[in-house]
Amino acid sequence: MTRKTVATNNLEAYDVYLKANAMFAGGTEEDNLKAIELYRKVVELDPEFAQAWAKLSNAYSEQYFRYVGDMGAPQHAKAALDRALAINPNLPQAHNSLGYYLTSYIMDYDSAFKELTFAEKYLPDNAAVHMNFSYLYRRLGKWDKALERARLAMELNPRDPNTFSDMSDISLFLRNYDESRKYIDQAISLDSLNGLLHKEKLLGELIGGNGIRGAREVIKEVPKELDPVEVMITPNGVGLGALGYWRFDLISPITSDLPQRFSKSYKVSRRHTYWTNMGQIYELLGDIANAMIQYDSARLYLEPELEKYPDDFHLEASMGVVYSLLGRHEEAIRHSSRAKELLPISDCFW
């Protein structure tokens, strides 16, 4: 067996790799950041471990695409991919990661399809390959095909709550609200302490369920181990998603300790979403002056990020919302229009 057909001969590297895979499957930004840390350790232990480089790339892509937590993550993802393919140009896991990268960041959907097709040829029963096809079809607005691929991933990995969550998400877009609720309930049954899953259920109620009344019931169902505040926040929100769900008056009573509870529940490094959520909390408490301070803190966070990444639609959309919250409407329209130019609906249906 040649060196390129063996994952690694370093047992310590392989042990850390398995731990990293477990963290990557966790389904939260905290888990993903830990996975990145562990994958980096793996490739330090064995720089020729191509599969680990491919997984590191996938985790970085996820940090940008799903969690919108690091605008520099795509560059790290590409560097890890280049390393994996230099070690083994035919590694199907690397082509799968490249397909995801091309879908989520470059938006070169034809090339992404080719890469995923190559990966599927050698990994026909790999849930991650089918899920990446699902993401690609969602971007293309081919929702029935996206649902079909997500269902295959779910059948191949029936203990992964993330596959059920994706099925719920697609069903919600297709306005199959009962199906969406069924899948998110299954996801929660597999990982009841994952606040993101309860948040997705809350969103489903607001969009296509029983509205605010149904969303309030979701808040009541949150396990006692979770603060309901954790379900209200959206650290990975883009544009309007950066606002969380405070404007729907779902938490009662409104108490003076909400800012402290929110800070405790915001478990990732602070970015603009911290201050947009905090601003709305102060508005609920009637402290408008402090709310404006929070919104301006979000602006101050985003400005240097936009200087560093001037063509990132996430940042432009979020800046538009922040200026709207500050009452600076002309600037809000300018940044929102720029976001629309960077990502027209014809290029991305999801």
Residue ranges covered by each domain of the chain:
158-226, 229-350
> 271 in helix, strand or coil?
coil
Q: Which residues contact 302 (CB under 8 A, 6 or more apart)?
A: 272, 315, 318, 319, 322
Q: Are 347 and 335 in contact (CB under 8 A)?
A: no
Radius of gyration of the chain (CA): 21
Residue 350 pLDDT greater than 80, yes or no = no
Q: Which residues contact 188 (CB under 8 A, 6 or more apart)?
A: 161, 194, 197, 198, 201
Mean pLDDT confidence for 219-235: 85
Mean pLDDT confidence for 293-300: 97
Residue 83 pLDDT greater than 90, yes or no = yes
- Assign 343 a pLDDT band (cuts: 50, 70, 90): confident
Q: How far is CA 103 from the centre of its chain?
A: 14
Spatial separation of the C-alpha atoms in residues 272 and 296, rounded to whole Å: 10
Residue 6 pLDDT greater than 60, yes or no = no
Mean pLDDT confidence for 227-231: 86
Phi, psi of 153, deg, nearest 5? -60, -40
What's residue 248's pLDDT? Answer: 84
Give the single-character DSSP code of 69.
-
Average pLDDT of the chain?
Answer: 91
Spatial separation of the C-alpha atoms in residues 170 and 180, rounded to whole Å: 8
Spatial separation of the C-alpha atoms in residues 192 and 253, rounded to whole Å: 24
What's residue 235's pLDDT? Answer: 59
For the ranges 53-62, 209-218, 280-289, 316-325, which has the lowest average pLDDT? 209-218
What's residue 270's pLDDT? Answer: 83
Mean pLDDT confidence for 288-306: 97
Place of tokens 């993101």: 196
Residue 144 or 66, more confident: 144
Residue 240 pLDDT greater than 70, yes or no = no
Q: Which residues contact 220 (CB under 8 A, 6 or more apart)?
A: none
Residue 124 pLDDT greater than 70, yes or no = yes
CATH classification code of 229-350: 1.25.40.10
Measure CA of the first residue to CA of the last residue in the chain; give whole Å.
Answer: 43
> 73 in helix, strand or coil?
helix
Residue 5 pLDDT greater than 60, yes or no = no
For the ranges 45-54, 187-196, 244-253, which has the lowest average pLDDT? 244-253
What's residue 229's pLDDT? Answer: 87
Spatial separation of the C-alpha atoms in residues 280 and 258, rounded to whole Å: 11
What's residue 3's pLDDT? Answer: 41
Mean pLDDT confidence for 36-42: 98
For the ranges 96-110, 212-226, 244-258, which has the lowest average pLDDT? 244-258
- List the structure tokens of 297: 């803190």
> 114 in helix, strand or coil?
helix
Give the single-character DSSP code of 210.
S
What's residue 7's pLDDT? Answer: 83
Residue 4 pLDDT greater than 60, yes or no = no
Q: Which residues contact 130 (CB under 8 A, 6 or more apart)?
A: 120, 149, 150, 152, 153, 156
Spatial separation of the C-alpha atoms in residues 44 and 239, rounded to whole Å: 37
- Assign 239 a pLDDT band (cuts: 50, 70, 90): low
Q: Angle of helix 258-265 relative to helix 272-284, nearest 10 degrees? A: 160
What's residue 323's pLDDT? Answer: 97
Percent of the chain beyond pLDDT 70?
94
Spatial separation of the C-alpha atoms in residues 60 and 298, rounded to whole Å: 24
